[in-house]
Chains A and B, each alone.
Chain A
Amino acid sequence: MAADPLVLGIETSCDETGVALVRGNELLVDATASSMDEHARFGGIIPEVASRAHLESMIPTIQRALGEADVDLSQVDAVAVTAGPGLVGPLTIGSSAAKALAVGLGKPLYGVNHVIGHACVDQLVHGPFPERVMALVVSGGHSSLLLVDDVATNVTELGSTLDDAAGEAFDKVGRLLGLPYPGGPHVDRLAREGDPTAIRFPRGLTARKDQAEHAYDFSFSGLKTAVARWVENEQDAGRPLPLADVAASFAEAVVDVLTAKTIAACRAHDVDTLVIGGGFSANSQLREKAAARCAEAGIELRIPPIRYCTDNGAMIAALGSAVVRAGVAPSSLDFGVDSSMPLTTIHV
């Protein structure tokens, strides 16, 4: 195999069918098909609908990627695919397609971790990681703080959410405020017009007693309850809801905890590069606060453009490429997908 193999990556953990080609840290093409519109009317992703959509989009999306990159399938050196975490049905569609391709082409197959892919994709945008980076992966399904010594072989999970993911808390508060699905972007838009200091909502797991056991863990469930009760109290008193202030103050509570804990982790582990990935990194308050706090602490902040923060094939091809170059043994063709794959598993 050449020094920089051509890796085809397939991502299907949720509602985006992503296919990408990566050579080394160079992205040749990134093609995505989404079933988002079909889910919006249900107020959330329906696993069965997503599975069917992946099945229909898989071959057209692979063909589109190959066509745009002017690459023939026979040139592909390895196939990488999301093995978890995510929805079982969609993961199964992607891994089946990847296995079929690997067998058909006689090329090695690598099942990789979706969450670590969210961090790894930044290498395609901002170049190889330095020796040690901190990665905050925040999305509708994940909120994890990772110490990355080698993205292909050595990742340590410092903390994660004990209950709701950051994006999930946004979606649930959006529902509470009567905003359309998905609530996250709507809450963010509303928050930009509000006062983030209007209401002092609680910061989960920041009390002194939580420092020993949960220094780098997150909890957004108490915050969600506080918002719900505050809103109910205003409604019961017959006062009009200051929606923008509620949204801004809620977002401030989430973003304050995420960034404070992340910066503390960087300091404790003597890390001067922070990567933020995952769909929630599109949040404007998170970007602003992370930039301000990183500048203050002398930490270099790397956030890929939004199209590489939401689910995509590039992140999986990027991690596949890193894993192949690290000389890791390919996955067995009979590996099963794992909807709650732990972050200790970089590849299967």
Chain B
Amino acid sequence: MTVTLDLPSADATRAFAAALAGELRAGDLIILTGDLGAGKTTFTQGLGAALGVRGHVSSPTFIVAREHAAGVRADGTPGPGLVHVDAYRLGGLGELDALDLDSSLEESVTVVEWGAGLAEALTEDRLEIELVRPRGGPVDGTVDLEHPEVGNRVATVRGIGARWAGVDLGALLRTA
């Protein structure tokens, strides 16, 4: 099932992540794609906050993968951990394996940025999320440099495998 939604602001991106987090549990894999500035870090920060994981979620580019220990969700229940990966510099699945991600996959929600075509083999069940930001300036042909985030981002969410077969992503994300 594929769901598309508009994200008019960074807060909307975080709310979208929070709505999704309610459904996420340990062992889930998210493959996150989107260009520079599409909102991948913002999305993952929203996810981390809603899952209640420890530590600050920032760009994992430098260390490739950052693990956040499990904490308490916003509703007071225990949450899963979070593994946040930037696969941009990884050339193949062998290198993703070398990060020892498999060991924590079962205990955590794993988000792999730029992971399309690379991370799928980690598990048959996954959520594919694509974030698209507006290109260039708004209609009048200029860019509002004080508000570089202006304009709708569009998120496309696709559930793949048995894990997501029975989940109504549309109903889940309408609350975002």
Q: Mark A residues whose CB is within 8 Å of B.
A: 42-48, 85-89, 140-142, 160-165, 168, 172, 175-176, 199-202, 221-226, 228-230, 232-233, 235-237, 339-340, 342
Contact = CB atoms under 8 A, between A and B. Distances in A.
B41 interface: yes
Given A44-B89, A88-B100, A226-B143, A233 B137 contact: yes
A200 B145 contact: yes
A45 B89 contact: yes
B141 interface: yes
Contacts of A142: 62
Interface of B: 35-37, 41-42, 55-56, 58-59, 61-67, 88-91, 94-95, 98-100, 133-137, 141-143, 145-149
Nearest to A231: B136
Contact of A229 (B41, B61, B90, B136): B136
B100 A163 contact: no
Contact of A88 (B59, B61, B94, B99): B99
A87 B141 CA distance: 42
B65 A339 contact: yes
A345 B32 CA distance: 32
A233 B150 CA distance: 14
Contacts of A221: 37, 41-42, 59
A175 B65 CA distance: 21
Q: Lowest 6 A-B CB distances belong to which pairs? A: A225-B37, A141-B62, A226-B148, A44-B89, A233-B136, A232-B136
B145 A340 contact: no
Contacts of B63: 85-88, 141, 339-340
B56 A46 contact: no
Contact of B58 (A86, A162, A235): A162
A47 B95 contact: yes
A230 B36 CA distance: 13
B149 A340 contact: no
Contacts of A175: 36
B61 A164 contact: yes
A228 B89 contact: no
Contact of B141 (A43, A162, A237, A340): A237
Contacts of B89: 42-46
Contacts of A48: 94-95, 98
A163 B137 contact: no
27 contacts: A46-B89, A46-B90, A48-B98, A88-B63, A141-B63, A164-B41, A164-B59, A164-B61, A165-B62, A168-B62, A172-B36, A175-B36, A176-B36, A199-B145, A224-B36, A224-B37, A225-B36, A228-B35, A229-B148, A230-B143, A232-B135, A233-B137, A233-B143, A339-B63, A340-B55, A340-B67, A342-B55
